[in-house]
């Protein structure tokens, strides 16, 4: 049975990209039951764009915002997870354009006891600029100005051969992409969501996935399905990367399951 689905989109002050993302959501062959925009403190222009789309969006479009106090992706994702009404959460960023079968693929490969990592095509700067000027046309394997071109192929019959990583999260973490993942909400709640102590860019996706592994929830890396196209942008600042790396290593060393500062602010007891 196909689960109910919340699509969570993280964004920050890039309205042109967010509009492209929302347009691609509207074109999904299987729509999510709701869309939650996790806004890490954007200015009013983002709210204006969302309000415009809310008027005619095919499913509920919910804007979740907090004050801009620096990079707090973990915390705003947690706030959106807490508000999600559906059983299954597909998580993307506000700078990716979705293949029309993106949601359908995530739901097709959903499985109790697993989270999913999809595939993405990287769009180079020149192509991204052209998309903003002339609109999006889905690139294919032989298209120019793309990277990870193998990820442009949707071959779901081959996707069935996806390996399940049951024992060693280190084999999976190297390919983690928080912009293209999906989870059972109950699994995220069980580990208390993302670790809010991880501020600044980096490692928050690896850290939560290690805790999921520690709790007995494992990862599937899906090839040739769940495709998205990542718009070019400058890399985020890595000023707090070492701090986040230390938190990740502590989680690995202590085999932590539930973080103390997550969806809930006090350590959640694990049954």
Return the sign of the alpha-carbon dihedral for residues 131, 137, 143, 149.
positive
**Would you state the pLDDT for residue 157?**
85
d(Cα 130, Cα 122) in Å, to the nearest integer? 14
**Would you state the pLDDT for residue 271?**
41
Q: From first to last of its 271 residues, what are the pLDDT tens digits of the chain? A: 889 999 999 999 999 999 999 999 999 999 999 999 999 999 999 999 999 999 999 999 999 999 999 999 999 999 999 999 999 999 999 999 999 999 999 999 999 999 999 999 999 999 999 999 999 999 999 999 999 999 999 998 888 776 677 666 666 665 677 899 999 999 999 999 999 999 877 789 999 999 999 999 999 889 999 999 999 987 755 566 678 889 999 999 999 999 999 999 864 444 4
| pTM of full prediction above 0.85 | yes
List CB contacts of 12: < 8 A, sequence separation 6 or more: 39, 40, 41, 42, 94
List CB contacts of 170: < 8 A, sequence separation 6 or more: none
- 34 contacts 185 by C-beta, under 8 angstroms: no
**Would you state the pLDDT for residue 176?**
73
| CATH superfamily of the 5-254 domain | Spore Coat Polysaccharide Biosynthesis Protein SpsA; Chain A (3.90.550.10)
- 175 contacts 103 by C-beta, under 8 angstroms: no
Q: Which residue has the tokens 């071109």?
A: 149
- 175 contacts 117 by C-beta, under 8 angstroms: yes
d(Cα 92, Cα 171) in Å, to the nearest integer? 22
* Half-sphere exposure at residue 215, Cβ-oriented, CA atoms within 13 angstroms: 25
């Amino acid at each position: 049975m196909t689960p109910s689905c919340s699509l969570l989109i993280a964004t920050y002050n890039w309205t042109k990209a967010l509009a492209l993302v929302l347009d691609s959501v509207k074109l999904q062959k299987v729509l999510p039951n709701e869309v939650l925009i996790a806004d890490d403190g954007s200015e009013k222009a983002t709210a204006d764009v969302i309000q415009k789309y809310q008027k005619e969006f095919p499913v509920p479009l919910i804007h979740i915002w907090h004050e801009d106090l620096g990079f707090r992706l973990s915390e705003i994702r947690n706030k959106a997870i807490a508000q999600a009404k559906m059983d299954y959460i597909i998580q993307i960023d506000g700078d990716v354009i979705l293949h029309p079968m993106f949601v359908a693929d995530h739901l097709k490969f959903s499985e109790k006891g697993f989270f999913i990592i999809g595939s993405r095509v990287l769009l180079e700067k020149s192509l991204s600029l052209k998309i903003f000027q002339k609109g999006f046309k889905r690139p294919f394997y032989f298209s120019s100005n793309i990277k990870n071109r193998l990820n442009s192929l949707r071959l779901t019959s081959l996707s069935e051969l996806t390996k399940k990583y049951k024992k060693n999260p280190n084999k999976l973490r190297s390919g983690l992409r928080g912009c293209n993942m999906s989870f059972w909400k109950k699994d995220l709640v069980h580990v208390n969501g993302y670790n809010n102590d991880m501020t600044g860019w980096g490692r928050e996706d690896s850290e939560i996935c290690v805790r999921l592994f520690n709790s007995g929830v494992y990862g599937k890396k899906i090839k040739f399905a769940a495709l998205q196209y990542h718009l070019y942008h400058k890399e985020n600042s890595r000023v707090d990367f070492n701090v986040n790396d230390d938190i990740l290593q502590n989680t690995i060393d202590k085999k932590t399951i539930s973080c103390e500062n997550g969806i809930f602010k006090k350590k959640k007891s694990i049954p």
